[in-house]
Amino acid sequence: MTVTGASGLDDPFSTAAAAAAELGRRTGGPHDVAVVLGSGWQGAVGALGAGGAEVLATELPGFAPPTVPGHEGRLRSVDVAGRRVLLLVGRVHLYEGRSPAEVVHPVRVAVAAGARVVVLTNAAGGINPGYRVGQTVLILDHLNLTGTSPLAGAQPPAGYPPRFVDLTDCWSARLRSVARSVDPDIEEGVYAGLLGPHYETPAEIAALGRAGADLVGMSTVLEAIAARHLGAEVLGLSLVTNAAAGVTAAPITHAEVLSAGADAAPGLARLIGEVVAKL
């Protein structure tokens, strides 16, 4: 069984398959939907589904332990409206020194465990001046400014799609329509994914705005690419936890991000639960 080395996962697809098999043994079978809960979204866990089997991520092959407050590193299997939902409570990031393969490993495991729909959530800075702190925004499209891809490197093995995945429909129009049927007032925006861990300068935010970005963060884009490569539909939900640099003169802190997430958790859980019920 492979383990994480200095360069990341040596055999990412077989490691994901092994982790999915172990996850299935521990949770009682395949899952229909996977939900990745980003910074500040952990408060939604209990409201999405009580009970269910729970596994520490590091007990499964290939999972790296998170080092960022607000990312717990556990997986919970719950029933939501008759569907088996895998909650991935927290994620790891490139800025923690992790490879792209390690960053997307949980999503690859979830798809290997049966999930055909992947919901990616995150905390984001609001570039669009019309956004308010505490607002949830549908991801319409993204700018991958991390400088890397989970599909770079060795060709995917036999039995997997080729590396040249079409991202035209990366963020599922069908799933966005479902979300709008739950909340007709929800807005859509373009998410810019950067490396981090530092927050952006006002000049960088101004440039991102000119490039079409409404939101900025340090996650999500690599996971979306990995999920689409494996054929899953992707829905993205960004919680605006702060106004980006230059949009406001106020300082930006991670504590602010977590606080905004805690305040929004009940509403976030309701939105995800109702979306899953309509799938």
1 is a catalytic site residue: no
14 is a catalytic site residue: no
CA 236-37-252 angle, to 5 degrees, is 85
142 is a catalytic site residue: no
The catalytic residue among 99, 122, 144, 219 is: 219
223 is a catalytic site residue: no
149 is a catalytic site residue: no
Taking phi over 0 as left and psi of -120 to 50 as alpha, with beta for the rest, 231 belongs to left
Burial classification of residue 99, based on how many CB atoms lie within 10 Å of its CB (0-12 exposed, 13-18 middle, 19 or more buried):
buried
198 is a catalytic site residue: no
The catalytic residue among 123, 192, 227, 244 is: 123
The catalytic residue among 19, 31, 96, 227 is: 96
177 is a catalytic site residue: no
The catalytic residue among 95, 187, 206, 274 is: 95
96 is a catalytic site residue: yes
List the alpha helices (DSSP H) in the chain: 12-27, 45-48, 100-112, 173-182, 202-210, 221-229, 254-277
Asked if 91 and 112 count as a contact pair (C-beta separation under 8 A), the reply is: no
Quote the tokens at residue 113.
């465990």
The catalytic residue among 34, 57, 64, 93 is: 93
Alpha-carbon gap, residue 110 to 32, rounded angstroms = 9
93 is a catalytic site residue: yes
The catalytic residue among 77, 122, 128, 242 is: 242
* Residue labelled with tokens 């309701």: 270
Helix, strand, coil shares of the chain as percentages rounded to 5? 35, 25, 40
**Which residue, among 259, 240, 269, has the nearest Cα to 47 in the 3D structure?**
269
Count CA atoms within 13 Å of residue 40 on its CB side.
30
The catalytic residue among 218, 224, 232, 260 is: 218
The catalytic residue among 254, 256, 259, 262 is: 254
The catalytic residue among 18, 39, 122, 224 is: 39
Question: What is the widest separation between alpha-carbon atoms in the chain?
Answer: 52
The catalytic residue among 31, 71, 105, 142 is: 71
**Which residue, among 151, 85, 75, has the nearest Cα to 106 in the 3D structure?**
75
- Catalytic site positions: 39, 71, 93, 95-96, 123, 218-219, 242, 254
